Structures are given as structure tokens and as C-alpha cells.
Structure 1
Amino acid sequence: MNNTGRLLRGKKFEKKSVYKTGIYIRLSKDDKDKYKEESNSIINQRAFLTKYVENEDDLHLVNYYIDDGKTGMNFDRSGLKQLDKDIDKGVIDCIIVKDLSRYGRESIETEKRLRDFKIKGIRFISVNDYFDSIKDDIDLLIKTKLMYNNQYSESISLNVFNNFKNMQEDGKFIGAHACYGYKKSLEDKHKLEIDEYPASIVRRIFNMYTNGEGKQSIANQLNTEGVLSPIAYKQSIGEHYQNSHKNTGHWTYSSIHNILNNEMYIGNMVQGKTQREEPRGKAKMVEKDYWIRVESTHEAIIEKYIWEKTQLLLKKTQKEFDFKVKEKAQTTMFSGLLECGACGCFLQKCNHNGVITYSCGNWKRKGLKGCTSHTIRLDVLEYIILKDLNSMIQAVKDINSIVTRLPILNENISSIERDIILAKEDIKKYQRRTERLKDEYFDVLDEVKEQNQIRFIKDEYISNKLRYEKQIFQAMERESRLQKLLEKQRLKREYSLWIKKLLQTKKVDAIDRGILIDMIEKIIVHEDKNIEIVYNFSNDSEKDRKS
């Protein structure tokens, strides 16, 4: 125990005949807006405490001090400040509250103030806690009520967090600003609607990218045309929006990249990308596996097959850097597809007096120490690919047979979806148990007076809480694994439908990057100018076609 505690226990409180009493009343915003309990209203607190003072012969009511809609976790309250001033002036020498939580919930500062009152001879009465400082031990009140009040405030913050999380899991939008291309519904702020002008820009960005334009090239084009960037557009319509980036008025590589990777555009609600370890702490990024994702919550801007095609492009695309002028870097038709048959390095584009060729990247950087050139001309490459693609399509007699050989579902999607539902139910089950455990803990703690009992109850609570949290984590990991598997199977299924549609055309007149990405996994170039074309829909026995 510190010196202040010993000093207070040794100091005898001199009781006066009459105390100049100030009634302090506080109602928090949570009480006011959420619970709306009659006993916690300003009117009822006033009536309750006034009656108490009238029944005590040694109390004379001087004034009321009221803070309406103020938190108990700090002492920046106008009513309380006026009470402090009147205490310093000698106008008040007794404070009466309904319970200690009305005066303060933050344990450290509240304890300091109560001890200061004892030293200054200020009487403090908390009616519902049966505490009167002229006869009761202040340490007992501090060890029980203040610890409970502090934990209660933490519980309120946790409840708010859990409420938001539940809304996210239900597919309700809880952000301050809708993502570019959407707006909040006027009827329900938790629903998104398409904002047609920015949505048209989003569609254009996806189309430009799938047709071979690089991200920086798209950004440059939009800036040249004077198209408002996402933040500039939001500010132009009166939204008070800002982000942490300095360059917010123009389209950038990053802004295009973020749009192309945003699953919201196919109608799926994706939230929970950041999390705070403490209610007022700094937000930290959450691993993608733990984002909260709910499908088909709003109208899609981008069709599913365009989205899948874009994701396939993003995985394959390798930027061809011009180290002297970085902003000229862009994606070419064969980026990420051409591999050296000797070292496996990607081939890089070269332009010699208007003749475009591709050569091994290792050879370009290190010469013969790295590899040999494996050079092939673009026009020759295009001719070989187009001829082989059409001959392969024409040779197919039964379209359904090739579709069945696509890398589609190896596992039953319905079974995976059922397992995901079970995992989510487990998560919610253990979360409910955690909430019940916490409620029971606070209920029991409010009745306990002995310190050793409090310590035992707390240890038991922490042990059970950790056990439930472990079970929640295991269920979340199981759901994450299943979601990855399900997404992979769905991607293959969507992809197979597009391939089937392409094969039904029976002929490809010209190749572009979209066709290459959809049809070809990779093209291996050998030193003798032979190439191997590995198609996405090839099975193991037909994987390689040499030309």
C-alpha cells in the first residue's frame, strides 16, 4: 500500500454538524441513447438524491451539478468543473452521487480524487454503494467498484466493436464513405447503390486493363482527360473525405491497382481490413484471410467473368521496366507468359529499329554468363500462336469433352459451402459463450467484497476466456482454409464457362492479351526457336504442344 493509503487510514475524519451538500448527476450518451433506463435519467437521479438529502439531518442542499450525455471515462465535464470550483471556494464540502460510476469510471483519476477529498475533509457519499467517507474504508470501495467500473467501460467498447462486427458479418456497410463507384442508400445507410458516373470510370478501367493497358498508362490517360480521381470526386460532391497520401488529386498507379483488386465491384461486401487492438488505438492492417466477406450484398458494377479475367491478368502480368523513364513502364501482350526454355526466366521485349523481339532476361542482364539469347520475333510468335490456337480449336469435335477436361471442381462445391456454414456457426457459438462468460463475471464481481475472492474469480474468468478464444481462432482458421478452396473452385468453374463460349466460335481471327490470358498458361521458348504452348485447359497427357 502506498504512503497516501497509510496516511488516510491514520487520519480521523472530523464530522461536522451540517455539510454544505452538492448533488452531482451524470447521464452518459450510452445510457441516454441505448439503454434509456428510467432509474438512470437526470430527473430520476435528481429526485432520488434530493429525497436522500432531505432525510439526513446533517446535510444541507446547496446546488445541483449536472452533466448530460457525458462519458465517465474522463473528467472534462462542465458540471464537474463547476463542482470543483465551488469546493475550492468553500461553497461545497460534501458531494453526493447515486453511485460511484456517476462520478467517474476511469479508475486512476477517480481514486486520486477520492483520496484528495479525504485529505481536504470533503465528505463523499455514494448512495447505492452504501458508502460514506466519514465512516467507511475508501480502499474497499476503490478495490471493488473502481475495478468493476473500469472493466465495464472496456466491456462497453468491446460491445460496440462486436456490434459493428456482427453488422459486417450480416453484409451491412458500416464505413463512413462508400468506395468509388458506389454511394450510400438514402433509405438505408448500410446499403450501397451504384453511383453511375464513377461506376462508368470503374468499368472503363477494367476494360482498358483487360485489353492490354498497364496501370500507369491508364492513370496517365485519365489524368490527361481530366477525369476526377476518387478523392477529388468525393470532395467535388461535398463529402469531407481525406486519406493519408499526399498526392490525392490525381490518378496514380496505386489508385488503379486498388480498383482492379477491389472485390466490392462484383457485388461482394468486403470489410474488416483494419482493426484496433484498443478502442482508441492505432488501426492496423488485417491479413486478407481474416477480412469479413459477404457475397451478393449489392448490385455489381463489373461482371464476374471480367473480374476473374482481370485477376488472372494481375497474377500473370510482369511489368517491363524502363529504368531510365519509369513512368513509361507498361504491360505488353505477352508479359508474364514467355519463359526461357533453359533457365526459366521471363523473356523481355526489345525494339531494334522497329523490329520487336523477345529475349531471355538473364541473357540481357548478364550476357552469356547468365544464359543464351532465346530470341524470337513478335510477328513470328503471333503467327505461331494464332495458327496453333485455331488448329487446336478446329480439331475439337466435341466441345463438351474439352470442357470436362478443364481444371474445374475436384471437390464438391456444395460440400465446401456446408462446411463453411458449420465453421461460421462454431465461431458465433463460442463468441456467444464468451459474451455470456463476461456478463456472468461482472455480475458476480459486483457482489464480491473480499480481495482473494476477486482474484480467484478473475483468474477463472481469464482461463475460460482464453479457452473460448482458442476455439474461435481454430474455427476461423478452418473457415479461412475452406474459403480459399471454395474461391479456387469457383474461379475454375467461371473460367470453364468462358472457355466453352470461346470454343463455340470455332475460329480466332486475331489474338490479343485477353485471349492469351484466358487460353494460355505459359509459352516456353527454346534456343532452337521451337516453342511449347501450355494451354490452361490441357490435361497432363496433352499439356505441351510444340511448334
Structure 2
Amino acid sequence: MYTDNCYSKIDNISVEYWRVGIYCRLSKEDEGTGQSESINNQREFLKKYVNDAKWTLFKIYIDDGYSGLNFERPGFQDMINDIESGLVNLIIVKDLSRLGRDYIQTGYYLEKYFPEKRVRFIAVNDCIDTFRESAANDFSPIRSVFNDMYAKDISKKVRTAFNIKRAKGQFIGSHAPFGYLKDPDNKNKIIVDEEAARIVKRIFEMYLGGMGLTTIAYTLNEEGVPNPSRYKKTVLNSSYVGRNKTMYWDATTIKWILTNPTYMGSMAQGKSEKLSYKSKKFINIPRENWQIVEGTHEPIVSKQEFETVQKMIERKNNQDFKCRKTPRLFSGFVYCGDCGSYMTYNAKRNHLYLICSTYKRFSKEFCSRHSIQEKTLISIVIEDMVQMIQKYVDVNGIKDKTVGLSFKDGKKKEIQDDIKRCRDRLEELKAMVKSLYTDKVKGIISEEDFLELNKGFTDEKNGINEKLQKLEKKLAELDRKEDEKREIEDIAKKLLEFKTLDRFILEKLIEKIEIYENAEIKIHYKFLNPDK
């Protein structure tokens, strides 16, 4: 497998030279294949192999419960770090599949990484020894493919087994939904967690009582009620982090609870699936394709309560959709001046308001409302923009104080003249090179003089071309600014004449707007105030 002379030298290397790393791996899928595959058996088998060879055992690396398709295993990475540090130069595994089951990655380590690091690799049961010539070494790429195919086959079998369990209503998740715990006597069953269930039941009662998603989140945050992530961490001592990685309730988490059929006693699974057996990415499955089995565990809310909530949410979503058809003039432009988060729209009694999104999501404990009615903000912005534009625009158009939109007199003409001079000189050099070549052919100048003079012309030509590119870029930028200046001039005149505001005007003239709780409003324009 390795080139150069390692085969002929192998028998002459003393046993003291080898610093051995034993690598043992067992994936969850391998656990049922018999005692011979256990971590303990791998370790003892390989320790005996090292002792019989009288080699020095440096370290044993173990990955228990890690797939062979994943090379980001902690034990494996620890072994790689020791190889990089020069602490290990011989790696021994029970068989090639213990190293990995992805034939591309396994091949990389066998064919490239280990040879470059001068590391010997032995797979005992497969008779692979990369420092000895053998048919087993030549067969190792094919064996890697078989190992990969085995992993694919196992993945299919596991998926089939999971589908069967889902169809029976058995729980197959690694963590029970908020409000439940895994049954200690049956890992495929969930039981009610009374403390968390009270929170879930209260959320349903609050929504049925007329409270909105955001209001419910506010209330729970103000009362210090732990959200699912904080509850699992502080009460259940679990490191698991759910959908909401913050420690606070938000509308999304509330809605997830209210729409989860688990809480009416139905097992809802198959909500996502892996792209492939080698990928860690999941894709979401449409709700109508979920696997839902009723009556699998004790409910926290009644079926009638759950279905009533679904109808309320559906009706509200339809109303929200109609509301979203209304143009949101300031979306993406307005920010809270105190906490820096964006201001979001809120409808109340047929009026549109902008309020701080931090306040809306987490309650007044984290920021204040900063509320301002949209039509009020429109009036303020138009008035400020008119005053600003009057400083810029006169009968002759935009004044020269407009930073970034104007340039000194003669600047464009100067650049155009430089461009013309560069192009003229390039034509001269072209003619000179042609004449020079003619002189060489006629024998007027020697080959050596021709090459020297031609190099000088070529260097000058390259320098002029580089300068020409920069000048043309500057000229294009000036043309762009002139076009932008004319466009803004048209927008300004339109605003002064009609005094109306739209998204196009905002996009062209305003960077952002900040709203402070003390009613102060700061408008940041895309150009500098001429008074500053």
C-alpha cells in the first residue's frame, strides 16, 4: 500500500520503535451483533496482540456509540491529535470497519493521511498491515466499499424498524416532549411529568381564554416560569436544548405546544427525515404526512380542547394573512433606539403601530414598548425629509454639499484625458514593437537587443493597462454617482411637490430610523447632513 522502501525495512525496525495506539469503536447499530463486537472484547483482544508483539502501548482510544460514517468522533479525533504530535506511529484496530464505514473517508486515511504521517496501520482480523506487502492490503479499498454498503443496509433496517414502531404508536425520540418523561421501564413509552404538564395545561387554558401567543409568552416570562429549554436544564438536569435555544418563552414556542397532538394523547412522529444515511441534515415533512396514532399515552388536555385550539389558530392565521397583504411601509427600516432590535408591526383597533420586537417577544422586563403609530411616523419622516431636501435642492438641482453624490469640477474631464493618453501610448507601443520586430528580422538589431527592448516595452504596456483599468473604474463610479444624483434629485422634487412617502423613497434616501422611549426619533440618511 505504501510506496518507497518501507516493506524491506519493516523487519529491521526494533520493537521499541513502535508507539502503539489501539482504536476501538462500537456504534449503536452494532450493539446487537454479538459479544465479539463489544468495546471490552475489542480492547482485550488488541491489548493481547500488542503484548505478543512486545510493542509499547501508548494509549487506547474509544468511541462507544458512534457511527462509522462520522469521523468527528471524540476518540478518533484524540488519536489524530496524538499522531499530529508525533506520539503515535502505529494504529491497530480489530477490523477495518472499526476505523470507519465511509469508503471515501476511510480511503483518505489509508491512502493519504497515514502514509504522509509515516503511521503504520493494522486491521488484525482483515490481515491488513500497511507496512507489509499482502493481498489483503490491495483488497482494502473493496472491503471499505463493502463496509459502506453494510452501513447503508443497516440504515435502511433501522429506518424500517423505526417506521414499524411509529406505526404502533411507540415513542422513538431521544427526548420526551415538554410535559412528558420517558418511562423508565419502557423507553418506547412516555409518561406525564406533573410539574411541566401544569405549565402546558395552563398555556392551553390561557389561549382558550382569549390570550394571544405573544401575551402568553409575556405572562410566563414575567412570572419566571421556565421555558422547555430552561426546565430541562434546571429541573431535569439535562443538557438537551430544544427548538428555542434561549431561556425565555416566545410566540413560536407557545404555538409549537398548542399545535402538538402529543398533548391530547396522540403520538405524532415522522415530522422530519434525514436526507441520506451519510448526511446529518433533516428535511421537514408536511403535517398531513406525519404518523399520528391516537390513545398511546395519558393526555394533558382533552381532545375537544385541543381541536378547539386548532380551529382558533387556523382562524387567526387566516386573519393574519389578510392583514399581511397590507403594505408595511417601514418594515426593515425602524429600530429600537435603546436595545437595538428591529421594530415590528402591531395592529390595534384598525390602526398600525410599530413596537420594539424585544418587548413583543420577551415582555417589558427586557425592553419597553417604544410604541409609535405608523401614520404619526409617516408625518414626522416627511416633515424631516422636506427640511433636509430643501437644504440640498435649489433651482439648479442638488447642491455640492451632497457628500458622495457630487465631485469637484473638472474631475471627470481629467480622468477622461488620462484615459485617452493611456490608450494613445498603448497604440504607440504597439507600433514600436512591430517596428522593433522588423529591425530584428532585417538584422538591424541583434536577438539579445530585441529581447531586452521588447521586455521594456512589455513592462511599460502592463503598467499602462493596470493604470487604465483603475481609471476606467473611477470613471464608471463617477457616472454611477451622476445617475444616482439625478435619480435622487427627481425623488426630492417629487417629495417636495406631493409630500407622500413610499418604499422606493425610503430605499433611496434613508439608512435607518431609531425610535427612543423618550419619544426622540433619529433618522439616518444615506448622505450627510449639509449643516454638519
Please report the TM-score for the alignment, with normalisation by the length of structure 2: 0.46
Q: TM-score, normalised by structure 1?
A: 0.45
Q: Which has the larger radius of gyration?
A: 2
Larger RCO (CA within 8 A; separation ≥ 6) = 1
